[in-house]
């Protein structure tokens, strides 16, 4: 039995869902993978909750349980950096909000973790989008893993397909519907709603955030495409390398321009090889019924990899809510630590 | 650099495609994964070809190159069993024809390989369908891997999804279009062809074998479902546990019974949980347009896993020809040997 110490940074929706799944399925991980997942502490701004016994988790996971800082096990002023230096290394789970410009505060957290010999599993795109190459070089030098399934498309296993299921192939192209909010809006507009109506509906259903700019302007798709492409096709894109189109305020006439054909409008993250060079873009395109992503509707996502020896492989689905992202974080922790073969 | 010795058993279409890809991409595997894939010998009934230098591979891969037994490097009478005992262990790649009743001759080859400390990668379903549990127990006891991506659906990464991308989840159900021949016939019948016409066309295109019984009677689907289910859901099915329906001689009227609705007829391998018990069957079912496998047409395949924490995840596509199967064998070899993290 291998014990894996977990320090969680950030207790928003994803951090909370992650914690709940670990609490509920700990014995399954022991039995099936021989891995004893031990949550040691949960950090938020200003301090940390120390988990000395499982009842501490039960209390904060209760619907009306105390906020972390109100719990009796909270210590103000504790610094993540010091904890990482002093504790037995395991996995830092990074769930702070994503900042695509500075990568902070996650970037500093991840750097500190790697410096102190901790693996990292992250649901936060920012640090990797900003500093992909430096983070992976550092991790490789130290023999550490950075798992970021939860940062690319929650439970849609885009990275696992590209890195594991297609091992040995050359990625010749990628096409993905990577953002649930914009796909939901486009689907509803295809059905006849105008942009503001579709957006309002997406907000009412909890699909769109109150400020949906990153989603509808295409930057969330661009960030995910960057991560997937850099990881699986060996590119070294930064965000400004990607030409980005969004769906904001699209005219209904445009979306339904092909309403007499079966083709439907989608926002795609696309990687192509042109004269030996990879090119990445986020574009609106009409897909025909035989396109493998044609049926990916509503808040669903999907991605197609084009390869040399295996043809095209497409994966669709996977919960895109906090629970799906939490499960993706755990999946990475298991795959880092499980015994081979 | 880790050198991985390969002994290939069986030089039919898949064995040949495997050999060609290894020859062509050896330097990529070295560079990207630090793995030096070394083909040592190729066995067929009656003897083996020993690969002392790369020109031996070039000669037999040429279109008009010699058959193995005509090559100057062929040794008659050499036994696989002895070679496995005497050589530095690596990976046995098993590509002999599949026998779903006895599992032979592959079963003996795989047992011998495990006994001598070799990992196994196989495109041959027979041995695993017949003796799944015993083979995996032996492998586990010896710390060896059995990779069988190539035996479940060629380049469609069904096992990678179930075992790796969904790690930590509970598989609650599986639905798969797992046989290209019967899906091709059903697709063409949906378009108006009668069964004998559709079958003839599939044969003319090289999709159906000259004796397509295993495919059209549903047993190939059942065998793949058994392997995927036993590996990912922990079932211990044998073939007789699965209720199997086929498509042979289906009436056109039946296939097109719903021609005024958008639903289409598919042959599905299906695993369900009923009162805590898994149940497996191969059934004909009409799928609605919002079913994730609805768009899987022609010789294409696809599979959906229903899970507790990640929702439903579907993977479709992947070459189903010998090259796709060959690439799947190599993928397993890489994933057994690549460095973590």
Of B169, B289, B297, the CB nearest to A327: B169
- Cβ pair A341:B155 closer than 8 A: no
pLDDT tens per residue, range B46-85:
999 999 888 999 999 987 778 898 888 999 999 999 999 9
Q: If we measure between CA atoms, which residue out of B46, B38, B47 comes closest to residue B2?
A: B38
Which residues of chain B neighbour A315 with C-beta distances below 8 Å? 161, 165, 313-316
Residue A304 φ then ψ, to 5° = -115, 130
Helix, strand, or coil (residue B303) = strand
Of A145, A165, A290, the CB nearest to B160: A165
Cα separation, B332 vs B325, in Å, equals 11
**Whether B326 contacts chain A with CB within 8 A:** yes
CB A95 within 8 A of CB A127: no
Which residues of chain B neighbour A160 with C-beta distances below 8 Å? 160-161, 164-165
Work out the pLDDT band at B341, boundaries 50, 70, 90: low
- Cβ pair A157:B155 closer than 8 A: no
- Cβ pair B155:A327 closer than 8 A: no
Interface of A with B in 52-71 (CB under 8 A): none
**Whether A309 contacts chain B with CB within 8 A:** yes
Give the distance from residue A328's alpha carbon to the nearest chain B alpha carbon, in angstroms.
8
Cα separation, B119 vs A52, in Å, equals 43
CB A159 within 8 A of CB A149: yes
Strands B277-287 and B264-274: antiparallel
DSSP letter at B4 equals E
Q: If we measure between CA atoms, which residue out of B21, B89, B33 comes closest to residue B57?
A: B21
Tell me the helices (H) and strands (E) count for chain A, helix number first.
13, 13
Q: Is B62 exposed, middle or buried (0-12, 13-18, 19+ CB in 10 A)?
A: exposed
Total beta-carbon pairs less than 8 A apart between chain A and chain B:
171
Query: DSSP string spanning B70-122?
Result: GSTTEEET--HHHHHHHSPP-EEEE-SPP-TTT-TTHHHHHHHHHHTT-EEEE
Question: pLDDT by residue for chain A (341 residues), tens digit each?
Answer: 999 999 999 999 999 999 999 999 999 999 999 999 999 999 998 999 999 888 999 999 987 778 898 888 999 999 999 999 998 999 999 999 999 999 999 999 999 999 999 999 999 999 999 999 999 999 999 999 999 999 998 899 999 999 999 999 999 999 999 999 999 999 999 999 999 999 999 999 999 999 999 999 999 999 999 999 999 999 999 999 999 999 999 999 999 888 788 899 999 999 999 898 999 999 999 999 999 999 999 999 999 999 999 999 999 999 888 999 999 999 999 999 998 75
Which residues of chain B neighbour A19 with C-beta distances below 8 Å? none
Interface of B with A in 32-51 (CB under 8 A): 33
In percent, the amount of chain B with pLDDT more than 90 equals 90
CB B304 within 8 A of CB B225: no
Which residues of chain B neighbour A310 with C-beta distances below 8 Å? 155, 318-319, 324, 327-328, 331
Q: If we measure between CA atoms, which residue out of A209, A232, A208 comes closest to residue A303?
A: A232
- Cβ pair A323:B317 closer than 8 A: no
Helix, strand, or coil (residue A310) = coil
**Whether B328 contacts chain A with CB within 8 A:** yes
CB B48 within 8 A of CB B74: yes
The 3-state secondary structure of A150-198, one letter per residue: HHHCCCCCHHHHHHHHCCCCCEEEEEEECCHHHHHHHHHHHCCCCHHHH
Of A145, A161, A331, the CB nearest to B341: A145
**Whether A78 contacts chain B with CB within 8 A:** no
**Whether B23 contacts chain A with CB within 8 A:** no
**Where does B156-212 have alpha helices with state H?**
158-160, 180-190, 195-204
Helix, strand, or coil (residue B237) = coil
CB A93 within 8 A of CB A18: yes
Interface of B with A in 281-300 (CB under 8 A): 289-290, 292, 294-295, 297
ipTM: 0.96
Cα separation, B303 vs A28, in Å, equals 25
pLDDT tens per residue, range B260-308:
888 999 999 999 998 989 999 999 999 999 999 999 999 999 999 999 9
Which residues of chain A neighbour B314 with C-beta distances below 8 Å? 315-317
Give the distance from residue A72's alpha carbon to the nearest chain B alpha carbon, in angstroms.
30
Of A139, A310, A317, the CB nearest to B313: A317
**Whether B25 contacts chain A with CB within 8 A:** yes
Give the distance from residue A145's alpha carbon to the nearest chain B alpha carbon, in angstroms.
5
Contacts of B151 (CB under 8 A, 6+ apart): B98, B122, B123, B124, B125, B128, B224, B227
Q: If we measure between CA atoms, which residue out of B62, B72, B50, B60 comes closest to residue B5?
A: B50
DSSP letter at B264 equals E
Report CA-CA distances (Å) from A328 to A247, A297, A311: 28, 22, 26
Helix (H) or strand (E) holding B268: strand B264-274
**Whether B163 contacts chain A with CB within 8 A:** no
CB A91 within 8 A of CB A120: yes
For residue A320, the chain B residue with the least C-alpha distance is B310
Which residues of chain B neighbour A146 with C-beta distances below 8 Å? 341
CB B91 within 8 A of CB B144: no
Asked if residue B153 has pLDDT above 80, the reply is: yes
- E strand segments, chain A: 2-9, 35-44, 47-50, 74-76, 91-94, 119-122, 146-147, 171-177, 243-244, 264-274, 277-287, 302-307, 312-317
**Max Cα separation, chain B?**
65
pLDDT tens per residue, range B163-172:
999 999 999 9
Cα separation, A227 vs A127, in Å, equals 11
For residue A339, the chain B residue with the least C-alpha distance is B143
Instruction: Indicate the pTM of the whole model.
Output: 0.96
Cα separation, A330 vs B148, in Å, equals 25
Token pair for B40? 């040592």
**Whether B21 contacts chain A with CB within 8 A:** yes
Give the distance from residue B128's alpha carbon to the nearest chain A alpha carbon, in angstroms.
17
Cis peptide before B341 (omega within 30 of 0): yes
Q: Look at residue A336 in the predicted model and tell me its pLDDT.
A: 96
Of B168, B169, B327, the CB nearest to A309: B327
- Cβ pair B313:A312 closer than 8 A: no
CB B246 within 8 A of CB B256: no
DSSP letter at A9 equals E
DSSP letter at A91 equals E
Cα separation, A285 vs A278, in Å, equals 19
For residue A306, the chain B residue with the least C-alpha distance is B318
Mutate to test the interface with A, among B138, B155, B167 (most CBs of A within 10 A): B167
**Whether B119 contacts chain A with CB within 8 A:** yes
């Amino acid at each position: 039995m291998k014990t894996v110490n977990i320090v969680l940074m950030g207790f928003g929706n994803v951090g909370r869902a992650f914690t709940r799944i670990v609490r509920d399925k700990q014995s399954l991980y022991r039995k099936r993978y021989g891995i004893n997942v031990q949550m040691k502490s949960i950090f938020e701004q200003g301090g940390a909750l120390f988990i000395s016994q499982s009842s501490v988790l039960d209390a904060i996971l209760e619907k009306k349980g105390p906020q972390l800082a109100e719990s009796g096990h909270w210590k103000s002023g504790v610094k993540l950096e010091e904890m990482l230096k002093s504790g037995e290394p395991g996995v830092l789970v990074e769930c702070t909000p994503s900042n695509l410009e500075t990568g902070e505060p996650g970037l500093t957290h991840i750097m500190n973790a790697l410096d102190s010999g901790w693996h990292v599993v992250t649901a936060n795109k920012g640090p990797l989008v900003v500093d992909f190459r430096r983070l992976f070089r550092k991790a490789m030098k130290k023999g550490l893993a950075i798992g970021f399934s939860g940062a690319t498309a929650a439970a849609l296993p885009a990275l696992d397909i590209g890195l594991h299921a297609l091992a040995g192939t050359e990625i010749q192209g990628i096409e993905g519907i990577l953002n649930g909010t914009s796909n939901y809006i486009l689907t509803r507009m295809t059905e006849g709603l105008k942009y503001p109506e579709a957006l309002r509906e997406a907000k009412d259903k909890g699909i769109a955030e109150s400020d949906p700019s990153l989603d509808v302007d295409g930057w969330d798709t661009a960030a995910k495409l960057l991560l997937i492409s850099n990881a699986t096709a060996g590119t070294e894109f930064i965000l400004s390398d990607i030409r980005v189109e969004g769906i904001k305020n699209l005219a209904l006439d445009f979306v339904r321009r092909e309403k007499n054909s079966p083709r439907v409008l989608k926002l795609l993250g696309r990687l192509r090889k042109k004269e030996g060079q990879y090119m990445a873009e986020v574009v609106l395109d009409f897909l025909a019924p035989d396109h493998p992503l044609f049926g990916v509707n509503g808040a669903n996502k999907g991605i197609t990899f084009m390869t040399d020896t295996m043809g095209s492989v497409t994966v669709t689905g996977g919960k895109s809510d906090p629970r799906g992202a939490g499960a993706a974080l755990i999946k990475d922790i298991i795959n880092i630590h499980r015994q081979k073969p």
